Chain A
Amino acid sequence: AQKITQTQPGMFVQEKEAVTLDCTYDTSDQSYGLFWYKQPSSGEMIFLIYQGSYDEQNATEGRYSLNFQKARKSANLVISASQLGDSAMYFCAGWSGGGADGLTFGKGTHLIIQP
């Protein structure tokens, strides 16, 4: 099983600035996957980006990129050119081993984008 740690309970960022949300993971498995989800105030979980342990390149999805550093066991989310609509809770999550036994989540980071 994975252990996921998010150390930033909250962040305030000016609109249009880039944002980095931290996530570290801990697993002894060679095969694992890492996710980032966005949870707006309406409550739904929105998938943002995925990185597999064997993926050679960092994942990117539009304005989202994942800064994957295996040696440091970190999987930070980078949001370029932040927008007011990016204000939300952000969760890092991961699976390890077989992968079919669910995700382990971090406690989340509350991101507030200021105009």
Chain B
Amino acid sequence: NAGVTQTPKFQVLKTGQSMTLQCAQDMNHNSMYWYRQDPGMGLRLIYYSASEGTTDKGEVPNGYNVSRLNKREFSLRLESAAPSQTSVYFCASSGTSGRALNEQFFGPGTRLTVL
């Protein structure tokens, strides 16, 4: 049981380049999330998908787009990377009702540096 997987684990970009971070979960969860973590901070929500076919903005969505490809996969795209997007990115998934709401599992993270 892999849980939540993310690729890549590390990435260095130049300002203006684009890239897509991939995330997949095998827990049959309906909801998936993208967070970023800056030094000395807790995680902040970028985008989320409460169910297949829906996506919504979180606290810090500017400069990002997302795609919920299917129930398992949720990708995050940087169209034109900026140094302010240097961060560690975490994908997470959870159930959406009852006791399943206590399941919030995170991927290992992607460390992104934008030069």
Q: How far is the CB of B25 from chain A (nearest CB, A)?
A: 14
A103, B41: Cβ atoms closer than 8 Å: no
B42, A33: Cβ atoms closer than 8 Å: no
Which listed residue, A44, A100, A107, touches B96 by the CB 8 Å rule?
A100
A52–B104 alpha-carbon span in the complex (Å): 13
B42, A47: Cβ atoms closer than 8 Å: no
Residue of A nearest to B41 (CB): A107
A33–B97 alpha-carbon span in the complex (Å): 12
B101, A102: Cβ atoms closer than 8 Å: no
Q: Which residues of A contact B101 (CB under 8 A)?
A: 33, 52, 95, 99-100
Stretch at the interface among B15-23, B43-51, B64-72, B74-82: B43-51
A108–B56 alpha-carbon span in the complex (Å): 26
Q: How far is the CB of A68 from chain B (nearest CB, A)?
A: 14
A100–B51 alpha-carbon span in the complex (Å): 9
Residues of B in contact (CB 8 Å), total: 29
Task: Other than A35-B102, A102-B48, give 13 A-B pairs with Cβ distance below 8 A.
Answer: A33-B101, A43-B109, A44-B106, A47-B104, A52-B101, A98-B96, A99-B101, A100-B94, A102-B33, A102-B35, A104-B45, A106-B42, A108-B41
Chain A residues engaging chain B, CB cutoff 8 angstroms: 4, 33, 35, 37, 43-45, 47, 50, 52, 91, 93, 95, 98-108
Q: List 30 A-B contacts (CB under 8 A).
A: A33-B102, A35-B104, A43-B109, A43-B111, A45-B92, A45-B106, A45-B109, A47-B104, A50-B102, A91-B43, A98-B96, A99-B96, A99-B97, A99-B101, A100-B30, A100-B48, A100-B94, A101-B45, A101-B48, A101-B58, A102-B33, A102-B35, A102-B45, A102-B48, A103-B45, A103-B92, A105-B42, A105-B44, A107-B40, A108-B41
